[in-house]
């Protein structure tokens, strides 16, 4: 991602680039963002994504 | 990222399904309602219902923002277009039926109706063609409303106005609980609406209605986990608000987006297709932005429209009372190519999701 004012070039994967408005989040270059209808609505931390797996495991274990 | 992190791992899915099954005798019959077109897509596309034991049912509530726009508001957009205003809208709004016609039919009749990917595209178009009046048809739930707020507050070009038809999800969830014969046992709350509004608006469901409520993401494992979490709560006889999707949904939501929404809009009563009028469920531009309100600027106001065509069961599908294949027109008179009702038009509509994934479903 690179930034210019409220606009950022976001890599959607496999080389797909699109300009996205980032005024709803505090984004910096290199962040992962969740994009809805051309606007980033949340920043996703890779660590948080990994945490999800831990969350699942803990919930499943607690059910035993 | 998703592949590495096993969000679609079949073995994990089987494990969760086994766990759900083991809890079912204790939980008893469990009817879970989600309110998001994308959840329905995940459930149908990945065949998740086939993994659930007898007694655990997942139904689709009013989760398609395009489907719930009442005909009267489509009529307002059509009126704008017929008055010579360039109407810009998201692609799936185009074919939604109004009382007389859809925006697509208005376009076929010569009106200037254009599809945009984002509200910012409408702003750019209006700047490029300053001699023409433009309106942006702002449809969507809390996920989309902040983007309209950004542009409405961002000193938009004077030739652009907004036909605001945004709706809010929690009031629709509350309505479902009032429908005694629906008898829901738990809610899957929509992840991306929640990314904006956070967890607080859902607190009343467990507290007041004793309704297990789980905010969930959109990968198959996310949805299965949320079903498991609800069945587990029911088996323990408790009702809590839980967040299965913390990688995106923070307890406070997105404060920046909420602040902008509050600056741009007031909350008001709104009509929902197939449901009727719900208090505090719609947004309208604040008085300070009245010059950008398409209804005021161009004097269009339609009080009542014709929401449901004869024979169409959209109004029952929208609230989860019947499944698409219980409508006699489903895949006969009403198909994705020639939709009759709004639920078959939008990619988030339950009928269209079922129609497109029929092979997976059966």
Sign of the CA dihedral running B48, B251, B205, B235 = positive
Question: Alpha-carbon distance B286 to B336, whole Å?
Answer: 37
Sign of the CA dihedral running B105, B110, B112, B117 = positive
Q: What is the ipTM of this complex?
A: 0.88
What does the DSSP assignment read for B324-357? GGGSTTBTTTB-SSS--SHHHHSTTSHHHHHHHT
Q: A29 CB near a chain B CB, below 8 Å?
A: no
> What pLDDT digit, counting tens, does each position of B252-276 carry?
999 999 999 999 999 999 999 988 9
Contacts of A50 in chain B (CB under 8 A): 5
> What pLDDT digit, counting tens, does each position of A4-16 carry?
889 999 988 878 8
Kindly list the structural domains of chain A, giving each domain's residue range(s) and its CATH number in brackets, ordered by start.
2-62 (2.30.30.140)
- DSSP H helices, B237-338, are 255-264, 294-297, 314-318
Contacts of B147 in chain A (CB under 8 A): 21, 24, 36-39
Contacts of A56 in chain B (CB under 8 A): 12, 221, 225
Q: What residues does B114 pair with on adjacent strands? A: B88
**Phi, psi of A53, deg, nearest 5:** -60, -45
What is the CATH topology of the domain spanning B10-60+170-243? Rossmann fold (3.40.50)
Query: Given an 8 Å threshold on Cβ–Cβ distance, is B254 in contact with A23?
Result: no
Q: A61 CB near a chain B CB, below 8 Å?
A: no
Query: Given an 8 Å threshold on Cβ–Cβ distance, is B150 in contact with A37?
Result: no
Question: Which of B15, B246, B248 is closest, CB to CB, to A34?
Answer: B248
Query: Given an 8 Å threshold on Cβ–Cβ distance, is A39 in contact with B146?
Result: yes
Q: Which one, of B147, B164, B162, B177, lies nearest residue B62 by Cα?
A: B177
Q: A59 CB near a chain B CB, below 8 Å?
A: yes
Considering chain B, what is the average pLDDT of its residues? 94
Q: Where are the domains of chain B?
A: 10-60+170-243, 71-168+254-297, 314-351
Question: Which of A32, A34, A48 is closest, CB to CB, to B246?
Answer: A48
**What is the predicted pLDDT for the residue at B4?**
54
Q: B6 CB near a chain A CB, below 8 Å?
A: yes
Q: A12 CB near a chain B CB, below 8 Å?
A: no
Per-residue pLDDT tens, chain B, 362 aa: give them.
445 557 888 889 999 999 999 999 999 999 999 999 999 999 999 999 999 999 999 999 999 999 999 999 999 999 999 999 999 999 999 999 999 999 999 999 999 999 999 999 999 999 999 999 999 999 999 999 999 999 999 999 999 999 999 999 999 999 999 887 789 999 999 999 999 999 999 999 999 999 999 999 999 999 999 999 999 999 999 999 999 999 999 999 999 999 999 999 999 999 999 889 999 999 999 999 999 999 999 999 999 999 998 899 999 999 999 999 999 999 999 999 999 999 999 989 999 999 988 754 44
The average pLDDT across A27-46 equals 92
Question: Which of B19, B144, B246 is closest, CB to CB, to A36?
Answer: B144
DSSP-based three-state secondary structure for B44:
helix
What does the DSSP assignment read for B66-86? TTTS-HHHHHHHHHHHHTTPE
Question: Alpha-carbon distance B151 to B225, whole Å?
Answer: 37
Asked if B318 and B274 touch (Cβ cutoff 8 Å), the reply is: yes
Query: Given an 8 Å threshold on Cβ–Cβ distance, is A39 in contact with B118?
Result: yes
Is it true that B10-60+170-243 and B71-168+254-297 share their CATH fold?
yes
- DSSP H helices, chain B, are 10-27, 37-45, 71-82, 103-108, 119-128, 145-153, 169-178, 191-197, 204-209, 220-236, 255-264, 294-297, 314-318, 342-345, 350-356, 358-361
Q: Which one, of B157, B225, B179, B324, lies nearest residue B17 by Cα?
A: B225
Between A and B, how many residue pairs show a Cβ–Cβ distance under 8 A? 89
Q: B246 CB near a chain A CB, below 8 Å?
A: yes
Asked if B310 and B97 touch (Cβ cutoff 8 Å), the reply is: no
List all residues 6 or more positions away from A43 whose beta carbon is below 8 Å from its beta carbon: A25, A26, A27, A31, A32, A33, A34
Asked if B342 and B67 touch (Cβ cutoff 8 Å), the reply is: yes
Architecture of domain B71-168+254-297 in CATH?
3-Layer(aba) Sandwich (3.40)
Q: A44 CB near a chain B CB, below 8 Å?
A: yes
Q: B117 CB near a chain A CB, below 8 Å?
A: yes
pTM of this prediction? 0.93
């Amino acid at each position: 991602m690179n930034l210019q004012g409220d606009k950022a070039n976001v890599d959607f994967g496999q080389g797909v680039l699109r300009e996205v408005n980032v005024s709803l989040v505090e984004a910096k270059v290199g962040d992962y963002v969740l994009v809805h209808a051309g606007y980033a609505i949340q920043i996703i931390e890779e660590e948080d994504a990994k945490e999800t797996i831990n969350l699942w495991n803990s919930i499943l274990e607690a059910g035993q | 990222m998703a592949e590495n992190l096993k969000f679609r791992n079949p073995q994990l899915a089987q494990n969760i399904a086994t766990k759900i099954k083991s809890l079912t005798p204790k939980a008893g019959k469990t009817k879970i309602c989600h309110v998001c077109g994308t959840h329905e897509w995940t459930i149908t596309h990945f065949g998740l219902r086939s993994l659930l034991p007898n007694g655990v049912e997942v139904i689709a509530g009013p989760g398609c923002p395009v489907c719930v726009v009442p005909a009267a508001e489509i009529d307002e957009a059509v009126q704008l277009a017929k008055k010579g205003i360039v109407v810009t809208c998201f692609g799936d709004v185009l074919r939604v039926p109004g009382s007389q016609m859809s925006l697509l039919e208005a376009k076929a009749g010569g009106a200037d109706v254009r599809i945009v990917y984002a509200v910012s595209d409408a702003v750019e178009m209006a700047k490029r063609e300053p001699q023409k009046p433009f309106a942006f048809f702002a449809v969507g739930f809390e996920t989309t409303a902040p983007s309209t707020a950004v542009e409405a507050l961002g000193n938009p070009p004077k030739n652009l106005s907004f036909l605001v038809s945004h709706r809010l999800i929690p009031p629709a969830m509350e309505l479902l609980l009032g429908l005694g014969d629906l008898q829901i046992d738990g809610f899957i709350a929509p992840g991306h609406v929640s990314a904006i509004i956070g967890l607080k608006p859902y607190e009343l469901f467990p507290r007041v209605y004793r309704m297990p409520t789980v905010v969930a993401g959109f990968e198959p494992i996310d949805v299965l986990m949320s079903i498991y979490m609800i069945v587990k709560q029911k088996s323990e006889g408790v009702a809590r608000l839980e967040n299965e999707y913390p990688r995106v949904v923070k307890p406070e939501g997105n404060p920046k987006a909420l602040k902008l929404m509050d600056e741009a809009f007031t909350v008001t009563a709104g009509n929902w297709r197939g449901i009727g009028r719900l208090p505090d469920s719609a947004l309208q531009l604040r008085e300070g932005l009245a010059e950008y309100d398409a209804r005021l600027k161009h004097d269009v106001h339609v009080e009542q429209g014709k929401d449901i065509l004869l024979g169409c069961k959209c109004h029952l599908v929208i609230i989860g009372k019947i499944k698409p294949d219980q409508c006699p027109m489903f895949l006969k008179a009403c198909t994705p190519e020639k939709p009759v009702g709004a639920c078959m038009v939008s990619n988030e509509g339950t009928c269209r999701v079922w129609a497109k994934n029929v092979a997976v479903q059966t």
